[in-house]
Amino acid sequence: MFHAGRLLDAYLKLGAHCVEVDGQAGVRFCTWAPRAQRVSAVGDFNDWDGRRNPMQRLDDAGVWETTVAGIGPGTEYKFEIENADNQRLVIKTDPYARAFPARANQNAVVTAPSSYRWGDGDWLERRARWRWRDAPISIYEVHLSSWRRPEHGPATYEWLAEKLIAYAGDLRFTHLELLPIFEHPLDESLGYQVTGYYAPTSRFGLPDSFRAFVDACHRAGMGVILDWVPLHFPKDQWALAEFDGAPLYERDDPAMAEHPQWHTLIFNYGQPEVRNFLLSNALFWLREFHIDGLRVDAVSSMLFLDDARSGSFRPNPLGGRENLPAVRFLRETNAHIARTMPDVFTIAEESTSWPRVSQPVPRGGLGFSMRWNMGWVHDTLHYCGVPCAERAGAHRDLTFERLYAKSEHFVLALSHDEVGASSGSLLSQMAGDAAQRIAGLRLLFTFHATYPGKKLLFMGDEFGQTEPWDPRGELAWLALREPAHRGVLDVVRDLNALYRDLPALHAVDAGHTGFRWLAADDAAHSVIAYLRSDVEALAVVVLNFSCADYDEYVVGVPRYGAFNIVFDSDAIHYGGAGRQATMEIRSVDRPAMGCPHSVTLSLAALSGLVLVPA
């Protein structure tokens, strides 16, 4: 089954596992090295001498195994591999290692079967009945190393469970999404160059400590999503690169093995054992750590052979640029997760026009549950950076997304990719002076929370951090001493609560049935308005992207009677001017915007209102 790519619990067979040998504790070592003529387990138990514990080849396809008595958990080890073709001798860490002693340490560590006692049974029962498509999902994306740091000593999983969960819960986020926490020695890679796919990083503690972190999230009513990196791996000679003395996990074509932008090695999806390694890895985190979802990194790079290659690439057997084995791998992975764990979701970071990314495999899709809406993010941030006087010419940026919205299940991801040194913070990307940028950010978050799609916000954006995200430090928490930044934080908290509490804003999130334009073409005023609805529930959203105030702006509504303004980004307690002083508005029998009734509003510059029937 392993050689056919169908051993879905490969992590229970390969790697290092504690066993009993003739009544004595021991460890069984198993690895895959098809080009080897000799493989040995080496470690502190045999002075790293490859002659003392040779492994037996179990089959012609290269699985090797041995059992060493008298050792157990905590033992550090590697594999010494001699290539049969070129006689090259390499010493490699275990691809299936469950732990490493430290992030820069290259040795794998034998771990005992987990004895952690989970307390999230209620969460898992609710998740089994959960219909995520109709549920509010508001994600707080976090890089654990640079979120916040204790006054004394490094952050730990235990400390993060106390501080991060309380903070995100207070802001009413439904999920945490963690940048890759798989073991990686290079801090600057942010976890995207993995050397230990089966090991939670030792930066914050032991594997069971990470289990306790996830458990604490669930008991607090919060899900956990992991960034997963099945595209590439670093060229560290002690890890996956040329594992048995020649290309194995990476593409075997030298011209196509390395990613030209990141200088990493690309997985060989045409090799069944490699697909098995990755699929088994996805299931490992979902099963062993109760993870609620995987966000798959760089899907666009996986799908296309010419990614970052400037037109120089080897086409597939059909003459195209699609990476057909990668497409097969993604479909197999998503289909298996959907079939066996339907309450878990997968999210694609996919930035091209590849069709039906979040449609089921039987319908010709890639099978992802959701897809990042990169188009909405790009267009919206571009528009927010246009000076107010020029916004009429860019109005299409606010409305174009509706032309393709019905084809996918989207996440509106204001992610870490938008706030690096090259682009600046979200606040710095808003046009205007300091006060206008703050107001523009409050307006952006109103658009984000009320527009169709699940929500994702990167850490620091929730209080309008001024500087770009710097992963070498922590967030600029001192900004919260300033009322303007506290106002932004309060906006995010209240919008998350509104999004969760109003079914009209989340229950019909895909397609067109839960959304209707009221004003899509008012470029002259830089205003858009739309209706969100779910059966009888509805919400009217009016967004003024102009730097001008409009004292009597007429908006069409579908019902006669009183409407309550349940959110106003210009409210005084957020740092605004509070121009819309009346919180209850009555509609009149005057048609507008294709509706039989209308209300008249006082729209402050760079502000958003949400109205619901009283």
Catalytic residues: 297, 349
> Token pair 């020029």 is at which residue?
390
Q: What contacts 65, CB < 8 A, 6 or more positions away? A: 28, 29, 30, 55, 56, 58
Which tokens hold the place of 8? 């879905």
Distance CA 184, CA 202 (A): 9
Backbone angles phi, psi at 588, to 5 degrees: -125, 165
Distance CA 386, CA 408 (A): 28
Backbone angles phi, psi at 166, to 5 degrees: -65, -40
Give 183-206 as a DSSP string. E-S-GGGTT-S-SEEEEE-TTS--
Distance CA 274, CA 297 (A): 18
Beta strands at 584-586 and 562-568: parallel, antiparallel or unpaired: antiparallel
Q: In this structure, are residues 307 and 262 in contact, taking their beta carbons and an 8 Å threshold?
A: no
Q: In this structure, are residues 563 and 601 in contact, taking their beta carbons and an 8 Å threshold?
A: no
Distance CA 342, CA 338 (A): 5
* Length of the chain as a residue count: 614
Helix then strand then coil, in percent of the chain rounded to 5, is: 30, 25, 45
Q: In this structure, are residues 83 and 36 in contact, taking their beta carbons and an 8 Å threshold?
A: yes
Task: Name the packing angle between helices 434-450 and 374-384 (round to 10°).
Answer: 150
CA Rg, the chain, in Å?
Answer: 27
| Alpha-helix runs per DSSP H in 204-303 | 207-219, 254-257, 272-288, 299-303
With b for 16 or more beta-carbon neighbours within 10 A and e for fewer, the 109-125 pattern comes to: bbbeeeebebebeebee
